[in-house]
Structure 1
């Protein structure tokens, strides 16, 4: 068993680089194409870094650094700004926040030098992205809004979808489900307009998360939960059909894990297979993309399933498999290792293996202490980066204030010069302007007089038009009311005729069946040799004639079922197609009001058999002990409850 687990762990580590390697090879082939411009080489290397972010972060940073070096020789500074912007997310993912902030400052500098609105909008998006991840959501919202404003209507705005996605995430954290849903819809609409599989996955995820948060606010609205699962499945389907084009496989792993959690949390035990299906997807992609948290969570949930089933050995095996998968990573997450050890300790304690429980508890303490030390170090780095960022912000504010003062001083000088020129020009042309103004004023007065007359005429015509429209609207409303009353009366008449026809045909059906049974009995009697042959032939011909009449009635009864099929069809739906022909005949007798003795007489059986049959029919229809079968079937003819049940 351990050999198999080790082999699976090694195989998944190889698979983890397969997607990155495939994307890297594809982009390398692009770089080898003849005639590729330096600008195209820079953008291709930036895309290569993006493709490698889920696989090898060091290679991703190296590829983007190469793009940055190449961009410095280009005249257009936007390429250098884009390279710095890409390094912001890569360095932050590599847990070097200080370097990420430095690249962000450089990205703003070169973006403003380039003067390209789309590049500036992309850097504002990256600023909001970093602020959101460093615990500044309010500043992030302002930056995202600035990115949307600058990039609105610009062709090639590939950041719009991500801006909406991050805004939806922030408002989800603030429990503002209405605004979250609005941004999630905008995210999906933007993604579908671009046809990028990564963006479409993000759009579907945003919609799924929005519906899930709304459902958490009111768990009685199951339609919200169904919508969340629908969009989760849509995102996973996009991933499955575009796996080679997807850059961020980690997003889909989280989607699958969340879908499995929803099935486990809100659905009964018989949906366990669905939860397990999405857990398998999450575990597979989590291993392929080195997502330790997804791998540990997947094994943890599967272990929980086994614990709920009382299978402690299977729960222990799954936790050990998760532990082995984490140890296969170059740098296992100590906090996740601690959680698995804690779970193993709980399982061992429930199995009664107290020494093993104590051993796992000690391992838990060991890994938890290491995780705590790593958290303290990360917090220290984060605080140092924030301190440096504040210093740079203060320096930037000081430089901006000086620049603003110099700009204001220059504006004052320019204003004084312009004022002197305007004064000279005014003195030179004042007389000419006064003369022209007098002539123009006379013309304006004459024009205003004519405009007044025209305005009065237009108002009169507008009043007349409104009056005509009002009369036409009243006439139209009256015609619609009369038409609606006429249609309602026709519908009531048709419904009454239809119900009368149904009752007549149902009664006829029962009479025909009773007569057929009598005729068959009589035909059996005629087989007796003591009956005179001539008389037997004559009676036989009469029976055959009646049977032909019965066939004609069967045709009529079929038409009855086509006109109103709810009686038999809805009964079968209510009973999951479990009613026999005899059961349906029994239900027909009950619906027309026959008693148990009358039904027994018609069917030729003992009343006790009728009672047993009634009990079986109630079970098949799922009726409670307090619900009467007679009242239920007879009420259908008046209130049609079966249609309502089916609709529900």
Structure 2
């Protein structure tokens, strides 16, 4: 699944923007935000000159709302969408009403306000059914599925996306089918059903392949993720590298940052930490450039809105002054009235200016806070990686300790046997076998392991014992520690010198003693302690 936050704007559109029918989304390029804003304002003014055509006015308000949404100005976006709904009035049968309701829901989805988002999506679903609008229904179901997925309600998400897919197939909408397949692959990826996820991602890629679209990059990244999470790092790296090449061609900062981050994860899992660090730095670079571009556009648009309002106030002021002059310049009360009007307008203008400055400062503070939060999360993730590596080192040390001790004792015994020509080798070999068995039963290695483990996870045994409903035996504590190191049942069986079936039984008994949710993995529970 695409992760994929300073990414509020991008994240809102990674949720199936194609499935949602965003055919009218305003394309933005860094430095051209003002041009887009002026063009839309001109269209709005032209449409308002024909008040009989309310639908045209509503369409321009819709485009303005989408434009503000792309900039992450959610309050302004909602205001434009509501203005469009006012122009439509009670005409709920207009397909434009469905698009507006969906867009309002997407804004709330971007803000993780799932209750309000689903309220709007549900309204458009019902309206689409009443109008027999299969495409509107497919889009609404896709949005509902996206909302359920973000809340980890995967069963509901799959139901909605499956119905959406059937409708797009019925309509012959290949684009909608491709995006819905990608969304379903994302759900199965969250469920760690990577084979199923790959099937859906591959179907989506079959449509987007070679089209040099953002959607093609997203699918390639998803394919790379699915292979990486299955442990096929080479194939995962190949797909993500292809996504990176496409992102370079389109010069999309978000996709460049995402591809470098995924490649960094691949190299880290492959043990090439130098390459991993190199790509992580590149991801950070593109992320900074992306935030800078977004901030630049937001500030420019806010400044343009302010200047537009200022000009409108000045025009209004001139009109009032002309009216006063035309009426009667000799009357004192007219002059006083004009002065009063001028002071009122100036007061209003200064108030708007102060509010605009405060708003810009507030946006800067929000962006700074988002960046600090992101840095804190990254630091926490790095600390967790260090802990996992330390745990792997302790496990490796334990195995070496066990093997080296046995091999050393065997080497000394065999060397003695070779030096004595008339020795009874059969009895010596039996003694050697007994010695090996004896060494395998020694607890010294476990003592060393306990020392390593307590240094790396000092609170683990205490926490595990407190959480247990019944007292845990030493064998159960050992099993818990090996699970904390994320070892497989086969590896644990080898270390404990038991069969894998015995390990499974022991895991089941340990799980019964712990307050663990039925759906939660025992290994994940141990790792999170």
**If you compute each CA radius of gyration, which structure gives the higher value, 1 or 2?**
1
Taking structure 2 as the reference length, the TM-score comes to 0.46
Report 1 or 2 for greater relative contact order, CA contacts < 8 Å, sequence distance ≥ 6: 2
More helix by share: 1
Taking structure 1 as the reference length, the TM-score comes to 0.38
